[in-house]
């Protein structure tokens, strides 16, 4: 259990600040993460690793010569926002382009992708390299769906060394993707990790049991088995990895035996005594193996084994010098000079005036009240949503939704105070939600609220048909961005029934509040029905069997939010900020 903290919600932020202070000679904190303290002597490709906090030394601990130029750092087990990724890239860019590299998780893919689009629009060369090394998360025929775990380090190291040697952006990307295609990892857990402030771990195992096939976000293994001896565990790992030997692979390996947070080095050394002989007996030469902690999972008790098949192109990059706060190899030349790049900030936007008519400002008051009502409901539901997510995910959905709505409600209220219309209030709320929540749900809710705000605009109180069009825009933005469809066991399974019902009822002439309430009822029922579905998207997908019988947390939270928002957004003009017909039974049913 993580015991040293102040406010659990500020743990990641404070940890990053402390890290940057300790290592101020090598790194510098910037909005969204950290970058190297000094700029390169000449333009070079900026390799930017990224992901959620809780994995130290990944990701910030790997900033330095021969490895990363910067790290985009999200909250615990939560992908960074697009704004964070953009800000770090702007700070690290030295004129030769940037490449984001990260594990293959939906939230990371969406947020880094959106940041890349923004950078490209400004003329900055930008690429993305995804890591997909976890053999337990999808079969070989679907390797593009695999998640990234400890193989992150191998890919980061090879890309960082290539960039340090002067390779151009295209070559750094090519080498990173090549390294990823030749990297395989298998892991196991003996005990789950625990968030700061939480009383229980994200998952538990029976005594003398082991979970095989874990992720690095507290996801439980694919299946549990009796705790093996070190020799049996080593044999299990090696046999599974060698069964996936890439065609034409060579006989020289980069090997990482990685502790996941609370597994002691002595235990790893004992396991190494089985792993190394098995690999050598299979005809392999082990090139500068690493045994220790490189990609962790808070205080999880567990271990993973990663192997990368090297060739004459990759081996020199694997063995090249590196100098970072958490990892050193050989003697690397550390740059000295001016501080890195340019920082980005949203400072000053608070004074930009809004243009809106009086009616839209009146409706904006109802939007602010809706956000505040959602804030109260999500705070009350945080633990329940986290429990739903922990069944087959990482257990952070409730916490992430609370972070998002806190930021959204604050930003929406601030915009309203400055005279914003309804559209601008919702856009401000959406942008704040996406930036502060991170993760898949953060970017989707942020994008959805922005789409709703853009549709409603800042002129007049929307009529029923305009509100229906706005909710259709909300749904379209989320489905376009998330690529999920009905039956995938995501928030879309509650979103589409709501949107379809609300639009149909409005077209039939129903009063807006009645139409919304009926559609919200359909959303709650649809969310409950996801218990019978197997997840086809997101982090729960590899653990589909464990998810059966439990409703999707994203669909559940969406149904609850729509239930709460209706009396405010569907009000045709009367202020509903103080009189809401929401009942405790409605909210409870949305969470049942």
Q: Residue 57: is the preceding peptide bond cis (ω within 30°)?
A: yes
CB 222 within 8 A of CB 215: no
Neighbouring-strand partners of residue 128: 100
Tokens coding 316: 């020199």
Distance CA 141, CA 408 (A): 41
Q: Find the catalytic residue in 38, 217, 397, 521.
A: 217
- Strands 98-103, 70-76: parallel, antiparallel or unpaired by DSSP? unpaired
By C-alpha distance, which of 328, 284, 311 is closest to 157? 328
Q: Which helix (H) or strand (E) holds 529?
A: helix 512-529
> Is 217 tagged catalytic?
yes
By C-alpha distance, which of 102, 53, 110 is closest to 77? 53
- Residue 500, judged by CB atoms within 10 A of its CB (0-12, 13-18, 19+), counts as middle
* Count of CA atoms in the C-beta half-sphere (13 A) of 26: 25
By C-alpha distance, which of 466, 346, 352, 371 is closest to 419? 352
By C-alpha distance, which of 298, 288, 299 is closest to 327? 288
* Sequence-ordered list of residues with C-beta below 8 angstroms from that of 218, at least 6 positions apart, any chain: 77, 192, 193, 201, 202, 203, 297, 298, 300, 390, 394, 395
Distance CA 584, CA 520 (A): 15
Active-site amino acid positions = 217
């Amino acid at each position: 259990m993580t015991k040293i903290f102040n406010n659990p919600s500020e743990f990641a932020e404070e940890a990053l600040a402390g890290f940057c202070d300790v290592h101020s000679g090598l790194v510098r904190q910037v909005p969204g993460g950290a970058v190297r303290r000094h700029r390169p002597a000449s333009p070079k490709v900026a390799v930017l690793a990224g992901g959620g906090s809780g994995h130290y030394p990944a990701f910030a601990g790997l900033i330095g010569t021969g490895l990363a130029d910067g790290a985009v750092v999200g909250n615990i087990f939560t992908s960074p926002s697009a704004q964070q990724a953009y800000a770090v890239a702007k700070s690290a860019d030295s004129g030769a382009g940037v490449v984001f590299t990260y594990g293959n998780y939906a939230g990371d893919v969406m947020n880094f992708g959106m940041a890349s689009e923004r950078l490209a629009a400004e003329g900055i060369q930008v690429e993305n390299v995804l890591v997909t090394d976890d053999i337990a998360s999808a079969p070989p025929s679907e390797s593009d769906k695999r998640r990234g775990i400890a193989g992150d380090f191998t890919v980061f190291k090879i890309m960082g060394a290539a960039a340090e040697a002067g390779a151009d952006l295209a070559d750094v990307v090519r080498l990173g993707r090549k390294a990823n295609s030749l990297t395989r990892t298998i892991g196991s857990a003996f005990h789950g990790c625990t968030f700061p402030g939480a009383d229980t771990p994200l998952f538990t195992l029976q005594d003398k049991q082991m979970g095989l096939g874990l992720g690095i976000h507290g996801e439980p293994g694919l299946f549990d088995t009796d705790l093996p001896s070190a020799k049996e565990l080593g044999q299990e790992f090696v046999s599974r990895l060698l069964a996936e030997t890439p065609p034409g692979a060579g006989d020289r390996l980069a090997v990482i035996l990685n502790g996941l947070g609370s597994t002691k080095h002595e235990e790893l050394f004992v396991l190494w005594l089985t792993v190394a002989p098995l690999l050598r007996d299979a005809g392999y030469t082990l090139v500068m193996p690493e045994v220790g902690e490189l990609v962790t999972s808070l205080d999880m008790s567990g271990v993973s084994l990663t192997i990368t098949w090297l060739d004459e192109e990759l081996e020199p990059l694997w063995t090249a010098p590196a100098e970072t706060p958490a990892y050193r190899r050989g003697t690397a030349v550390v740059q000295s000079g001016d501080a890195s790049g340019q920082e980005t900030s949203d400072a000053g936007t608070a004074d930009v005036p809004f243009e809106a008519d009086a009616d839209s400002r009146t409706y904006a008051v109802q939007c602010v009240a809706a956000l505040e009502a959602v804030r109260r409901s999500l705070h009350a539901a945080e633990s329940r949503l986290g429990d739903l997510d922990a069944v087959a995910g990482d257990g952070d959905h409730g916490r992430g939704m609370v972070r998002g709505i806190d930021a959204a409600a604050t930003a929406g209220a601030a915009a309203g105070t400055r005279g914003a219309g309804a559209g601008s209030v919702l856009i401000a709320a959406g942008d704040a939600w996406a930036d502060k929540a991170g993760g898949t749900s953060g970017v989707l809710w942020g994008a959805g609220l922005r789409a709703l705000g853009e549709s409603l605009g800042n002129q007049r109180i929307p009529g029923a048909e305009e509100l229906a069009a706005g909710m259709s825009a909300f749904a379209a933005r989320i489905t376009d961005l998330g690529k999920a469809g009905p039956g995938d066991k995501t928030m879309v399974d509650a979103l589409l029934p709501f949107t379809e019902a609300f639009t149909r009822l409005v077209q039939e002439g129903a009063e807006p509040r009645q139409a919304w309430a009926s559609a919200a009822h359909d959303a709650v029922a649809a969310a409950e029905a996801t218990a019978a579905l197997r997840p086809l998207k997101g982090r729960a997908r590899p653990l589909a069997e464990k998810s059966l019988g439990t409703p999707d947390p994203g669909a559940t939270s969406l149904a609850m939010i729509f239930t709460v928002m209706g009396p405010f957004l569907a009000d045709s003009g009367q202020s509903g900020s103080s009189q809401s017909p929401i009942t405790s039974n409605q909210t409870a049913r949305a969470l049942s």
